Structure 1
Amino acid sequence: MLPGALVSVSGGGEPTAYRSFAQLCSDITQSTSMAVTFTTHGHRLTPELVEFLRGAVHFIRLSVDGVGATYERLRGRPFEAVVRAAALLGTLAPFGINAVVNGDTVGELDELAEFADKAGASELLLLPEQPTAATSGISNADAQRLVEWAAAARIGARLAISRTGLEAALPTAEAIPGEDPLDAHMHVDAMGVLRPHAYAPEGLSVGASIMKAVHALRKAR
């Protein structure tokens, strides 16, 4: 892999619930040239885990769907716990905030951006809600509200949007200029499947060697 490429350890579950999570991050950092990122709800973070992860991760995303009472209604957890998690992450590595955007949260984008700025996040990643068996996904009207907000937003953190189609309506930039997307980023989900990105429908099992899976995925593209 090229220096500066990313592997994200997340998706389909809370990565910090895995007992050997810190060791996995350390193994990837020591045995490859990839930078390690992960996404977390933050509620399992402790000062001890942060110390174990120090030097083994390069970027973290904290999931924050709504702020204040909206977050507490959707997540069933106190918002103050997210504030504490952001403070812990700030001592570990650069971190970003990611938020699912739907009818519940699209009206709180200003407050979300303000929280990201106050927390010291370097990125605000917006995730338009995708259709599932339980939800129809973000409505066309709310998607348009999101596009209009993002086009006019002026915030301290870098603004990003997931690969869900709406990015075609917004100015975008390459994550790592000059690199093929598959060289710039890959995603490992909670089942140990390596994918080109989090929404890719297919991937390859990591198995005993993540690097063998990386090379096989590059050949199969």
Structure 2
Amino acid sequence: MHTSRKALNMIKYLILMLTFMCVVIEIIQIVVGAVLHRLFATYTVFIDNDFVRATHFLIAVGIVLVFLSIFGFAAIIFENVIMIFLYAGMFSLVVILEIILASAAFSMYNRVDSMLTRRMNVVIQQFHTDRFMRVSFNHMQNSMNCCGIQSYVDWTNFHPDRELPSSCCRRYEEGCMPHERGCHAPMSDFMGSRIHMIATGTTIIVVFQVVCIITAIIMGARLSLV
């Protein structure tokens, strides 16, 4: 009996430690989600809505898991079998949602290039007629030190009667000296790395959370036999 109690206490303290680590990880997830949302919002005209929704989902799941982990703390400390199994069950449901998010993020990562090509073509066409499109494209060219979609030649193709926007120019020497690279490549790297971060980060978190669920189930099973 003494040995059984000692083993149970070891499992209990292990789960408490894992649950605490879960809380820390979920807080980090919320912060990362908020930062990514702000970054995506800066370039909202160039990305599809589901990219922004992915950050909303990341934040929402993080908040739910923080409260769920606190519930798990109480269940483990009081050694309540029903609460522990309820905690493991609810945790499992949320982990399934995170697996869906990770799968969606990997899918989104694979279509970053085609999405940017499609959206950039729309924005550059409306550059001189839509103020929001103009501000967004200028901001991208300034922040990425780029010009056009594939190169500055795109401006001549889309607007042959217009001069290059000032945001295209890296310097002026008897006229505008445009950035040689287009904006598609740096934007693709920028967006792709952020989406990949969501996909891989969520996958790593899920693996850790599965360990938390398994240990909680083991403790619940042990308690039910005491």
Q: TM-score range by the shorter chain?
A: under 0.3
**Greater helix content:** 2
TM-score by length of 2: 0.24
TM-score by length of 1: 0.24
More RCO (CA 8 Å, sep 6+):
2
Larger Rg: 2
